[in-house]
Chain A
């Protein structure tokens, strides 16, 4: 994927082959996200979107290629070091810590950030998601789906990442919550310049929130384009993303 940006990209994958054990899921994947940039990752169920994020975070077997972050080769770094370096991953299953309260979920892994250090703390994430403040004393397993997603995003923000990596954050949520999350993710990406990787099956939403996009098809990048451009390219969208009738 071409970026016109001359400076070193914030996040860059080069010719990545990755998978589980011996099984190859992603092959020949290259992409880059500049500082403050945003990338939509589209594709049907099971094509390897989550695996791509797990590769970035270091949870799967990287067989070939490199992952670079902020100019450093992090291909061999363990996940916790990548998180500390500023990769802000929000897992698809949300993975809220069930035996921690909402507030503990937020504080247990909180860190001052690298660049924009200290932008996010308890009061600013509670301002972003007032619902979490009301639920602060609840245990992690007593939340609705929408609250869990808010908490998962807020928990990652508390690590003050330099890039937010979201895996289908709108999946399975009520429309009103979806609206709220879209507005807030948009505000972070567009207004505050937080770099963003957004995996999403709803192409229109993802393309509206990002400036670049890739489409994954069976583990390879089948298409890469500017988000605005791809939004108008109905033929390509139909071909690779479809009408999303599979649901889940």
Chain B
């Protein structure tokens, strides 16, 4: 029983870390730049398909496909940001929602056209397959890998935002765009780079997700729901909030499905309702 609990907690944490990588970029664009980018789910899906192409068509190792997924999603998102999204920064939230959800539909249709509607399996390297035994318990090697990656990303994000000059410029531009510009910050470029990093992380999340939850053209929609829950429970714009919320929801989801199968799928919604009822701004949100 204790052993089961440990494994359930571990699996839940791993799923939570996946949700974190998928969602943190959305939290940043939504919270810092006030742009409702539902296409975040589509960028995640894009990253997934990049990994499928890189490993299957180019025959490159899975680990190589991860930076590729990040970079392609980042670059494509910047193309969209420069040409389309920036026109919507001053438009109402409804316009942003309608436009970006439209992009998810389009991306889903494009993925179905190119790759078909079937699940896309991928080949993992030997060391990520199977389980690792520890204290008599068997932990999935891939899940360990996922947790390590998410912790590294969290560390890099916090360091980058809190302790670098570029991070300070992002925060300055968010605090007061006009003053930032008047002091020489190219706010458009700072936001474009931030946006690209966020979308790149979504792409990386999409690539990491395949092994755990699969990949098909509905990925953008399906995981958008999880992303929105993570962002709203964690609080807009908070990296720590996204981290805590993603862990909580991942564990609740896995534990719910394991211990109370009848209720399992609803567990995350119950948590979301409870948290938002008590703290409408989210766990770490400021507004």
Name A residues whose Cβ lies closer than 8 Å to a Cβ of B: 57, 59, 78-80, 83-84, 89, 91, 95, 97-100, 104-105, 107-109, 111, 140, 155-156, 159
From B33-41, B51-59, B150-158, B163-171, the one touching the partner chain is B163-171
Report B-chain residues with C-beta under 8 Å of the C-beta of A105: 172
Cross-chain contact A80 with B186 (CB below 8 angstroms)? yes
Query: Is B185 located at the chain interface by the 8 A CB criterion?
Result: yes
Given contacts A80-B185, A105-B172, 6 further A-B contacts (CB under 8 A): A80-B184, A80-B187, A97-B175, A98-B175, A108-B168, A108-B171
Q: Is the CB of A89 within 8 A of B168?
A: no
Would you give the shortest CB distance from A235 to chain B, in whole angstroms? 37
Do A108 and B181 touch across chains, with their CB atoms under 8 A apart? no
Scoring B171, B179, B182 by chain A CB atoms within 10 A of each residue's CB, the highest score goes to: B182
Complex-state Cα separation, A95 to B187, whole angstroms: 16
Least Cβ distance of A114 to chain B in Å? 12
Q: Which residues of A lie under 8 Å from residue B169 when comparing CB positions?
A: 108-109
Q: Which residues of B contact A109 (CB under 8 A)?
A: 169, 172, 180, 183-185
CB-CB < 8 A to B179: which residues of A?
91, 95, 97
A83-B172 contact, Cβ under 8 Å, with A95-B178, A107-B165: no
Tally A-B pairs: CB < 8 A.
Answer: 65
B residues bordering A, Cβ < 8 Å? 165, 168-169, 171-172, 174-176, 178-187
Chain A residues within 8 Å of B180, by CB? 97, 109
Q: Enumerate chain A residues within 8 angstroms of B183, measured Cβ to Cβ.
A: 80, 83, 89, 109, 155-156, 159
A78-B183 Cα distance, complex, nearest whole Å: 12
CB-based contact B184/A108 at 8 Å: no
Query: Looking at A98, A104, A108, A140, which has the most chain B CB atoms within 10 Å of its CB?
Result: A108
- Chain B residues near A100 (CB-CB < 8 A): 168, 171-172, 175
Q: What is the distance, in angstroms, from B274's C-beta to the closest C-beta of chain A?
A: 29
Closest chain B residue, CB of each to CB of A103: B168
**What distance in Å separates the Cβ of A121 from its nearest Cβ neighbour in chain B?**
14
* 23 examples of A-B residue contacts, CB within 8 angstroms: A79-B182, A80-B186, A83-B181, A84-B184, A89-B183, A91-B179, A95-B176, A95-B178, A97-B172, A97-B175, A97-B179, A97-B180, A100-B172, A105-B172, A107-B165, A108-B165, A108-B168, A108-B171, A108-B185, A109-B169, A140-B175, A155-B183, A159-B184
Contact A59:B182 (CB < 8 A) given known A95-B176, A97-B175, A100-B175: yes
Most buried by B among A97, A100, A105, A107: A97
Residue of B nearest to A95 (CB): B179
Complex CA–CA separation, A107 to B186 (angstroms): 15
Would you call B176 and A83 a contact (CB within 8 A)? no
With most chain A CB atoms within 10 A of its CB, the pick from B168, B175, B178, B183 is B183
Given A83-B183, A109-B183, A156-B183: A104 and B178 interface contact (C-beta under 8 Å): no
- The reply to whether A107 and B168 contact each other, CB–CB distance below 8 Å, is yes
**Separation in Å of the B137 CB from the closest CB of chain A?**
43
Min CB–CB distance A49 → chain B (angstroms):
16
Contact status A97-B171, CB under 8 Å = yes
Across-interface contacts of A78 in B (CB, < 8 A)? 181
**Contact between chains at B184 and A89 (CB < 8 Å):** no
Are the C-beta atoms of B182 and A89 separated by less than 8 Å? yes
Q: Give the docked Cα–Cα distance between A186 and B171 (Å).
A: 33
CA distance A125 to B176 in the complex (A): 22
- Within the complex, the shortest CB–CB distance from A162 to chain B, in Å, comes to 13
Shortest C-beta distance, A153 to chain B (Å), equals 12
Report the nearest B residue to A109, measured CB to CB.
B183
Give the most central of A104, A109, A159: most B CB within 10 Å: A109
Q: Does B182 lie within 8 Å of A83, measured CB to CB?
A: yes
Q: How far is the CB of B238 from chain A (nearest CB, A)?
A: 12
- What residue in chain B is nearest A78 (Cβ atoms)? B181
Bound-state CA distance A155–B171 (Å) is 15
A105 to chain B: closest residue by CB: B172
Chain A residue nearest in CB terms to B181: A79
Please tell me if the beta carbons of B175 and A99 are within 8 angstroms of each other in the complex.
yes
Residues from chain B with a CB closer than 8 A to the CB of A140 are: 175
Contact (A104, B181) CB under 8 Å given A95-B176, A97-B176, A99-B175: no
* A99 proximity list for chain B (CB < 8 A): 171, 174-175
A107–chain B nearest beta-carbon distance, Å: 7
Given A91-B179, A97-B175, A104:B184 Cβ within 8 A: no
With a cutoff of 8 Å between Cβ atoms, the chain A residues found around residue B182 in the complex are: 57, 59, 79-80, 83, 89, 91
Residue of B nearest to A104 (CB): B168
> CA A230 – CA B168 in complex, angstroms?
44
Residues in A whose Cβ lies below 8 Å from that of B171: 97, 99-100, 104, 108
Q: 4 tightest A-B contacts by CB?
A: A95-B179, A83-B184, A109-B183, A108-B168
Query: B188 to nearest A CB, angstroms?
Result: 8
